[in-house]
Structures are given as C-alpha cells and as structure tokens.
Amino acid sequence: MKRFSKHNLIRMALLAGGAALVAKVIGAKKEQWTGLSESEVRHKVESGLPDKVAGEKRAAVADKVVATMKTRGLLDEDADETTTEVSEDVESDIAAEADSDDEPSN
C-alpha cells in the first residue's frame, strides 16, 4: 500500500477545495440566470458584452444564449407573455383615453 506524504495530502485537499469553490460559483451564476425572461436575458447578455462588439453581433450572441437556455428549460416563458399582455392592455388603455380626449364634450 502506498503512503501519501503531507505535501500530497495538502495538494489533494487544496484541489478538492478549489473544485468545490468552482462548483459553488457556477451554481450561483446558474441560479442568477435561471427563471429570467427572454428580454431580461437578452438585456443582461448585451450589457455584458464589450462596447467593441457591433449591434448585429450582440443580437446574434443573445439569440444563441436564449436558444440554449430555452433548450435547457431555464427561461421563464410566462414572464414574457405576461409582459406582452400587460403592454397590450396599457397600449389599448392609452389609445382609448386618447380617443376619448379627441371627442368633443357636449
């Protein structure tokens, strides 16, 4: 049976600790991104890219990230639908108010 020296045990402990730390950081990042809506993911990706990246490439990168997150089931699909419904309701309310303001009151 092979005996391990103190140095080898310390190296193994540091390696295991480093691997645990990396796993924890990756888990925290995944948690930050999980459950975001598509528009939130796009905004987060595009704002994280350097200014040197052109707009078209920013959109392409965001599209790839969104597609990957959809495939993995990490996006909150209902958030975008709810946002769209609320936006449509607000727009229709604004249009109705504008129409009522345009009509002459007797």
**pLDDT tens track for 9-68:** 999 999 999 999 999 999 998 888 888 888 898 888 888 888 888 878 888 888 998 898
Evaluate the CA torsion angle 86, 92, 96, 98 in order and state its sign: positive
56 near 100, Cβ under 8 Å? no
Chain centroid offset of residue 54 CA: 20
The reported pTM is 0.52
